[in-house]
């Protein structure tokens, strides 16, 4: 369980400060596929980065499994962070390493025999046959599947995905979303999915948070068919479309 208790995050000080998140209260359940939508700058990435402690709240508390990470010693925080995987819009693969080395990287850094496990994860995302290639030879969808395999090698209980399909065409988007669904079903991973693409959230998430200028504009169950009305602000349309 991930819990935000009245969380605000401000960057900078004085007149040049930016409030990225403002009074967020939120609970994300185990094994949930939870969507986060909102316009550019509404605080989506900041919200994700608070979950894996890449950012600390200015005020309020973020709890993961009832623990407040900010209160833990640095070594414990690093250990907890390994329980949380992350994938990004731009894949962040190492260009000069093979697919297999990219996926084995986090395991080898921790001194384990990683290649076998890495290969297993590549099989899971159906990329084992490309293991000796370099990322530049792959399509965007293939790169993202490799990045997902890499995030899974540490067997995280939570996977954070920041616009994982935003650089992809619709075919590759479906392919990557299908993999994320399987991750959730097979590994029972809690997934927090940030996307500005409402269809992606609509087709895959149980619930979604709509952010508007750092505030939680809506928290909605993603179930009913989309409404016809297509006017109003992004937050209003998002809430109507998703609910």
Ligand X SMILES: Nc1ncnc2c1ncn2[C@@H]1O[C@H](COP(=O)(O)OP(=O)(O)OP(=O)(O)O)[C@@H](O)[C@H]1O
Q: Which residue shows structure tokens 């299908």?
A: 178
224 interacts with ligand X by CB under 6 A? no
Q: Which of 45, 102, 189, 190 binds Mg ion (CB under 5 A)?
A: 45
- Contact partner, 11, from ligand X, Mg ion, none, Cβ < 5-8 Å per class: ligand X
At residue 81's C-alpha, the angle toward residues 120 and 64, to 5°, is 115
DSSP code, position 189:
-
SS3 at position 113? coil
Q: Which of 25, 30, 41, 203 binds ligand X (CB under 6 A)?
A: 41
Buried b (16+ CB within 10 A) or exposed e, 131-141: beebbeebebb
20 interacts with ligand X by CB under 6 A? yes
Q: Which residues are CB-neighbours of 237 under 8 A, at least 6 positions away?
A: 229, 230, 231
18 interacts with ligand X by CB under 6 A? yes
Enumerate residues 116-155 that contact ligand X by CB under 6 A: none
Q: Which of 7, 33, 46, 130 binds ligand X (CB under 6 A)?
A: 46
Site size for Mg ion (CB under 5 A): 2
Q: Which residue shows structure tokens 């290649």?
A: 115
43 interacts with ligand X by CB under 6 A? yes
- Contact partner, 46, from ligand X, Mg ion, none, Cβ < 5-8 Å per class: ligand X
Q: Which residues are CB-neighbours of 177 under 8 A, at least 6 positions away?
A: 165, 200, 203, 204
Site size for ligand X (CB under 6 A): 13
Q: Which chain residues interact with Mg ion by CB under 5 A?
A: 44-45
């Amino acid at each position: 369980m991930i819990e935000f208790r009245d969380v605000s995050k401000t960057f900078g000080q004085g007149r040049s400060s930016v409030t990225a998140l403002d009074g967020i209260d939120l609970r994300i359940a185990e094994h949930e596929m939870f969507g986060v939508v909102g316009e550019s700058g509404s605080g989506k990435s900041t919200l994700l980065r608070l979950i894996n402690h890449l950012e600390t709240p200015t005020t309020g508390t973020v709890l993961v499994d009832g623990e407040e990470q900010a209160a833990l010693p640095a070594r414990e925080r690093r250990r907890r962070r390994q329980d949380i995987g992350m994938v990004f819009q731009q894949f962040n693969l190492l260009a000069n390493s093979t697919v297999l080395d990219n996926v084995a990287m986090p395991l080898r850094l921790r001194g384990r025999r990683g290649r076998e496990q890495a290969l297993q994860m590549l099989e899971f995302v159906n990329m084992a046959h490309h293991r000796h290639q370099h990322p530049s030879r792959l399509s965007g969808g293939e790169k993202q599947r490799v990045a997902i395999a890499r995030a899974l090698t540490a067997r995280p209980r939570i996977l954070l995905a920041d616009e994982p399909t935003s650089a992809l065409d619709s075919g590759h988007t479906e392919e990557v979303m299908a993999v994320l669904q399987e991750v959730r079903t097979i590994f029972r991973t809690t997934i927090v999915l940030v996307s500005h693409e409402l269809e992606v959230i609509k087709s895959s998430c149980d619930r979604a948070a709509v952010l508007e200028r750092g505030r939680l504009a809506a928290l909605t169950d993603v179930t009913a068919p989309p409404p016809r009305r297509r006017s109003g602000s992004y937050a209003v349309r998002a809430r109507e479309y998703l609910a």
